[in-house]
Structure 1
Amino acid sequence: MSSQRPGNTFRNMSQQPRPKASNASTPRDSKTERTAGQSRSSRGTGAQKYAGSSAWDRTRRFMRERPMLERVYRICLKAFLWLFFGSIGYVIVLKYVPVWVTPLVVSRWIDTIGTNESSHVYKKWRSYDVISKEAALAVVASEDQAFPTHWGFDFNEIQDAIKENEKRERPRGASTISQQVAKNVFLWNGRSYVRKGLEVYFTVLIELVWGKKRILEVYLNVAETGPMTFGMEAASQRYYGHSAETLSRNEAARMAAVLPNPRLFSISNPSNYIQRRTRQIARQMRYLGGQRYIRNL
């Protein structure tokens, strides 16, 4: 028999080092901390959230996170593009097509509803070549003597009007013929920054697309020349009994004299002021050199 005794298994096992107790909560706590950190970072400010990206990227990301706002933005953008390109198309069409109806004509016709005034509109389109050049010269001499040379705006006249209006009770306008055409053909009556801004837009547009001759042709056909009367041809037939093709210088000057307020002043029954104003316009027509002044529009 072997003299070697078996070892004390229980004792040996008891002497083995005990495994360290694992910290079961550590992984869970680490995960919780990571989640909390992510949550804190997601609640950061907008500047921290979008840091490092361009302004356009930040705007697009901001819109994507708000579907309703993005939908409204897309609708407004589409409406703007339709109006923008539609206005350009309309201006191009009117370069070749007579302007039969304007917002001013519609407004005057609506004003007669429910009143004793006649609702008949006196309006007849005539091409620039048919209308007497005395009429064209008269409105240039009266309304806008720099018309052949400016690009839609007479800035010298605007500055003079601003200085004069500081002392005048009734403000004096400085609108050019181009601005008046833009207002009468495309816009509504009234005074507001929105309408004035649109007037500037359409003035630039017709100067670029139409040119001077077409602008003056439209003005001679759409300008209000009396109660429910629009254009030189309609006024000439109604008040003088003949076509605008045969207007004399004095007749054309009197028609131009009433243009600032054709509902107050009368062509057929001119006041002393209109008669004096007619003589002034006729003198200006001579000083400008007669019809040669508008020959090369």
Structure 2
Amino acid sequence: MAKQTFARRAARWFIKSLVIFVVGSVIWVGLYRFLPPPITVTMIANAVDGRGITKDWMALDDMSPNMARAAIAAEDGNFCSHFGFDFKAMQKAFKSNLQGERRIRGGSTISQQTAKNAFLWQNGGYLRKGLEAWFTLLIEVMWPKKRIMEVYLNVAETGLGTYGANAGSMRYFGHDASRLSRAEAARIAAVLPLPKKREAVAPTGQTRRYGNTIQRRVGQVSRYGLDSCLK
């Protein structure tokens, strides 16, 4: 009898906790549909490590279109056509990593990265990945693609203690993100995968080559309408 009572209590506690989590996360995502995220777990963690927090929110409409196009070119060419997950990219990344390529590839879309950056933490195993999938689905359902890109370009780390394309533009080029050239936007996009190790000013080696590749792809994003969902 005692075991049955404990099992019922545990089941009720689990169901109640699940309902609270679902309702709370829906409300949280709903608020960020209209309000800029004031702070993220990544920002807090880096501030604790002494890196500080430099950010300056800029609406996507005020940003140079080159920045969103560079992000699509670098991170997620199918951003406007998928529903949060690009399974072909995941499969390609998995095969590439199995073959032992020098650069470990990820299959995360911009939507997944936005969910991680805005609501979760950077490191973690299956728990973080599971939560990331849940928040990715929520933002895809509750936000337009334009808002997903806007949040991504404002909370992604673009340098040590620097968050967002606008703050990154000020840090690297001395002007805001409304004036980003194609080359400058490509350099910021090249920094995004490893913001603690790469610099957008006078990049060298892999960062420079990657930035040049992104710059060439920006024209293709515009030419083929891969950014059509942002207009």
Select 1:154's aligned residue among 86, 89, 92: 86
**Would you identify which runs of 4 or more consecutive aligned residues in structure 1 move more than 6 Å?**
none
Alignment: residue pair count: 229
Which residue matches 2:6? 68
Query: Counterparts of 1:293 and 1:147 in 2: how far apart (Å)?
Result: 8
Contact 1:137 1:291 (8 Å CA) reproduced = no
Query: Counterparts of 1:175 and 1:236 in 2: how far apart (Å)?
Result: 24
Contact 2:69 2:222 (8 Å CA) reproduced = no
Which stretch shows the higher mean deviation, 184-193 or 237-246? 184-193
Distance 1:211 1:108, change over 3 A: same
Equivalent residue of 2:158, what SS? strand
Which stretch shows the higher mean deviation, 133-142 or 185-194? 185-194
Query: Counterparts of 2:222 and 2:122 in 1: how far apart (Å)?
Result: 35
Select 2:141's aligned residue among 200, 203, 208: 208
Bigger Rg, structure 1 or 2: 1
Identity %: 42
TM-score by length of 2: 0.93
Query: Counterparts of 2:105 and 2:227 in 1: how far apart (Å)?
Result: 26
Render the CA deviation track for 1:21-54: whole Å, top value 9, x for unaligned. Answer: xxxxxxxxxxxxxxxxxxxxxxxxxxxxxxxxxx
Select 2:64's aligned residue among 106, 116, 132: 132
TM-score by length of 1: 0.73
Which residue matches 1:196? 129
Q: Following superposition of structure 1 onto structure 2, how do residues 47-196 of structure 1 map, counting pairs within 5 Å?
A: 66-112=4-50, 119-168=51-100, 171-196=104-129
Query: Counterparts of 2:31 and 2:205 in 1: how far apart (Å)?
Result: 42
Equivalent residue of 1:289, what SS? helix
Which residue identity is paired with 1:277? Y
Render the CA deviation track for 1:3-27: whole Å, top value 9, x for unaligned. Answer: xxxxxxxxxxxxxxxxxxxxxxxxx
Contact 2:145 2:229 (8 Å CA) reproduced = no
- Any unmatched runs of 5+ in structure 1? 1-61, 113-118
Query: Counterparts of 1:238 and 1:263 in 2: how far apart (Å)?
Result: 14
Distance 1:148 1:69, change over 3 A: same
Contact 2:77 2:226 (8 Å CA) reproduced = no
Which residue matches 1:250? 183
Shift of 1:291: 9.1
Query: Counterparts of 1:288 and 1:126 in 2: how far apart (Å)?
Result: 22
Contact 1:91 1:209 (8 Å CA) reproduced = yes
- Any unmatched runs of 5+ in structure 2? none
- Tell me the C-alpha RMSD between the 2 structures: 1.8
Contact 1:135 1:252 (8 Å CA) reproduced = yes
Render the CA deviation track for 1:59-86: whole Å, top value 9, x for unaligned. Answer: xxx89x7333323332222121111111
